[in-house]
Amino acid sequence: GREATLAIIKPDGLLGNYTETIKATIAHSGFKISREKVVQLDEEGAASFYAEHSTKKFFHGLIKYMTSGPVLVMVLEKENAISHWRSLIGPTDGRKAKITHPDSIRAICGTDVEKNCVHGSDSPQSSEREISFFFDIPSGSQRGGDD
Ligand code: CMP
C-alpha cells in the first residue's frame, strides 16, 4: 500500500549540486515529498541515527562523513515507497553501481561504499524510526494504515 520512506541527500550530494537531478528523479517516479528540511548533524545525532552500525569498522568514518556538511532529509510517499526508492538509489557502493546499475542515483553521484550520496530506509520499521528521528509526526497522520 501507500508508504513513506526517509530519503537523505548526504553532504557529498548536497555540496556536489546533485539536488536538482535527484529531485527530478523523485518527481518523475511519482513520489510526493511530504516533508523536507536541511539539517547539519552533529556527532551525537549522527551516531544515534546510525546506532545499528556502531560496532562496524566504518562507523567512525561514517559519522565523520555525515557530519562534514549539511544534509537534505525528505519524507517520500507513494505505493511501495520503500522498495521503489531503494531500487532508484541502487547498490550501496557507488563505484560498483556505475557498473551494475548505471542509471541509478548512486551511479550518478556516489563515489565509493562510504560516500554514496543518498540514503533510503530499508524496511517499514526503519522508515518509521528514521522519519520520527527527523520529524515530529502529528498524531492525526499515521502512516501504514489501509486508507
Ligand atoms: P547507507 O546504507 O545509507 O547507511 C549506512 C552507511 O554506511 C552507508 O550508506 C554508507 O554511507 C556507509 N557504509 C556502508 N558500508 C560501508 C563500508 N563497508 N565502508 C564504509 N562505509 C560504509
H or E element, residue 103: none
* pLDDT (0 to 100) of residue 147: 46
Q: Let me know if residue 48 belongs to a domain.
A: no
Question: Any alpha helices (H) in the chain, and if so which ranges?
Answer: 11-15, 19-28, 43-49, 59-66, 81-89, 94-100, 105-109, 124-134
Count of domains for the chain: 1
Distance from Cα 49 to the centre of ligand 1, integer Å: 13
Provide the domain limits for residue 117. Answer: 2-40+70-134
Q: Domain with 13 in it: what CATH number?
A: 3.30.70.141
Q: Let me know if residue 122 belongs to a domain.
A: yes
Q: What is the pTM of this model?
A: 0.93
* pLDDT (0 to 100) of residue 136: 85
* pLDDT (0 to 100) of residue 144: 45
Q: Let me know if residue 103 belongs to a domain.
A: yes
Q: Let me know if residue 45 belongs to a domain.
A: no
Q: Which of 53, 60, 84, 119 is catalytic?
A: 119
Q: Let me know if residue 49 belongs to a domain.
A: no
CB proximity list for 36: less than 8 A, separation 6 or greater: 72, 73, 74, 75
Q: Let me know if residue 64 belongs to a domain.
A: no
Q: How far apart are CA 58 and CA 61, in angstroms?
A: 5
> Is there a binding annotation on residue 10?
yes
Q: What is the mean pLDDT of each run of 10 residues along the chain (147 residues)?
A: 96 96 97 98 98 98 98 98 98 97 98 98 97 80 46
**ipTM of model:** 0.97
26, 65 contact by CB (below 8 A): no
